A = this chain, B = another copy of it.
Amino acid sequence: MNISLAENYGFCFGVKRAIKIAEENQNSRTYGPLIHNTQEIERLESDFKVGLTDRLDDFKAGETAVVRTHGITKDELATLRERQVEVVNATCPYVTKPQNIVQEMSAEGYTVVIFGDEEHPEIKGVKSYAQGAVYTVLHVKDFEKIEIVGRVAIVAQTTRKVEDFLEITEYLVKRYKEVRVFNTICNATLENQEAVEALAKKSDVMIVIGGKNSSNTKQLYTISKDFCPDSHLIESPQELEKIWFDTKQECGISAGASTPDWIIQDVIAKIKEITA
């Protein structure tokens, strides 16, 4: 079995930055998971005493709240500050960007369209910066339910596929006289996506490692499957099954932006072991 890693994979700038910030703030708590990787969150808890809570009310004056890479809503941030909680902002700068754009475009009177998953914390945060009309769409058909008036500005969830974003912008450009397109898909996402495509094309089995609630990991998995039907999404080496590798020659590996390198190494070791 030949095992190859994608040319770009794993930890991105925003995740590395957030982990560094968390490590520097021992005895703090993150509000919501810092990144979408359970094992890394456990490591931060055990080695750096960085806790985790999903309740805003858990933070008291003087305590430290670390804001997750995906950001939080404008109101939540204001509440923390009002309560004199010390806020350490680990929001990825590539997420702060669409937050600022949405705020600015909204103030300028644009109808704001956000291309992304409205249940994802990043999008909840980004959307909260709009003051006027704002819509979240994932598919062109989502436009059926909404009515857009006037000038349109659009941003994208940082971890989406650019092809899907283009479909949405195309729909808008066809119908509206002014569409202000902000391609806020981050470069790390693009690079990881291009790399997984290239690798999937020459592999007969693909293993994509990452959190099952991680948007960027799910995109990598979707792309991988498009080019290599035998693609598998796993969070840890325990999920590997020997049968996946039977009759296969070329195994490709990629990992989401919140997957630590040590998990990737464990997965590789385990594949070698079960295919030996």
Binding site for B on A (CB under 8 A): 162, 165-166, 169-170, 173-174, 176-184
Contacts and interface: CB of A to CB of B under 8 A. Distances in A.
A170 B181 CA distance: 10
B173 A166 contact: yes
Copies in the complex: 2
- The list of the 5 closest CB pairs from A to B, nearest first, reads A179-B181, A180-B180, A173-B181, A166-B170, A178-B182
Given A166-B170, A166-B173, A170-B166, A181 B183 contact: no
Given A170-B170, A179-B183, A181-B181, 9 more contacts: A162-B174, A165-B173, A169-B173, A173-B181, A174-B183, A177-B183, A179-B181, A180-B180, A180-B181
A116 to B, nearest CB: 16
A162 B177 CA distance: 12
Contacts of A179: 180-181, 183
Contacts of A174: 162, 166, 183
A173 B177 contact: no
Contacts of A177: 182-184
Contact of A169 (B162, B165, B169, B178): B169
Contacts of A169: 169-170, 173, 181
A169 B180 CA distance: 11
Contacts of A184: 177
A166 B180 CA distance: 14
Nearest to A162: B174
Contacts of A181: 169, 173, 178-181
A173 B176 CA distance: 16
18 contacts: A162-B174, A169-B170, A169-B173, A170-B170, A173-B181, A173-B183, A174-B183, A176-B183, A177-B183, A177-B184, A178-B180, A178-B181, A178-B182, A178-B183, A179-B180, A179-B181, A180-B181, A181-B181
